[in-house]
Amino acid sequence: MKEVLRQEKKYLITIEDYYRLSAKLEKVLHLDGHSSGDGYQIRSLYFDSLDDIDWQEKEEGLELRKKIRLRNYGSDSAFAKLEMKQKQGSNQKKRSLSLKKEDALALVNGNYSVLLEQQSDFALECFYKMSQYCYRPKTIIEYTRKAFVAEENNIRITFDHHIIGTESSYNIFANDLLQYHLLDPALVILEVKYNGFLLSYIKDLLDEVDGSELSASKYCMGRMISKHYRF
């Protein structure tokens, strides 16, 4: 089980700002191990309770809230990560556990007992939470991510673009998902994640971008049909 605790800020920027800022960051930061060109593919399947408690907590802006999801890197992935993100004031706590493809698909189909086979307190916590509150798949979100990293303060800067999704199919390993745009392709979500404080030379570069800070999550964007959500 992997655990990360850090501050996280999101901004909405234009694709022109993305290319300009990305070119500058390439001179001072490292691309993460997956990034090349415009980035790599990410798919996330979000779960929620029957009464959409996680959605409601986000909409109400509660300081303590969570999201549970499965994440892989496209239809060819041999595994998926079960993740729980918990907002704790200004910090975001993320715990994750790698699962074999067949176990991930069992979760998609509502068989949470596979989590009892994992030697992990986190897996046990997810089993009880997802079983007790009748968690079910709600939406798949897919996008391309370009990511930069700096070892100091665990800094990670990501650009998420071409964000699409579906609420009609939940197999994150499928290669024929019927998806639609959740965000204008001319817009990009910039995420800045760090521990403690942001280094000044990185902050100065980010200050050049004319972007508005976001409170909306990709999960909320993915519920635009069932929840009549509009970004």
- Within-domain flag for 16: yes
- Within-domain flag for 95: yes
* Per-residue pLDDT reduced to its tens digit, 97-156: 999 999 999 999 999 999 999 989 999 999 999 999 999 999 999 999 999 998 887 899
- Within-domain flag for 229: no
Number of domains in the chain: 1
CATH number at residue 183: 3.20.100.30
| CA R_g for the chain | 17
- Within-domain flag for 198: yes
* Per-residue pLDDT reduced to its tens digit, 189-223: 999 999 888 888 888 888 887 766 777 689 999 99
CB 165 within 8 A of CB 221: yes
- Within-domain flag for 169: yes
CA atoms within 13 A on the CB side of 21: 28
**Helices within the chain (DSSP H only):** 15-25, 53-59, 101-108, 121-132, 200-207, 218-222
- Within-domain flag for 27: yes
- Within-domain flag for 230: no
* Per-residue pLDDT reduced to its tens digit, 24-72: 999 989 998 777 788 999 999 999 999 999 999 988 888 889 999 999 9
Look up residue 24 and give its two tokens: 């500058």
Of 198, 156, 209, give the one whose Cα is nearest residue 15: 209
Give CA torsion, residues 7, 8, 9, 12, to 10 deg: 170
Q: What is the pTM of this model?
A: 0.93
- Within-domain flag for 227: no
Q: In which domain, by residue range, is 204 found?
A: 2-222
Look up residue 2 and give its two tokens: 């992997």
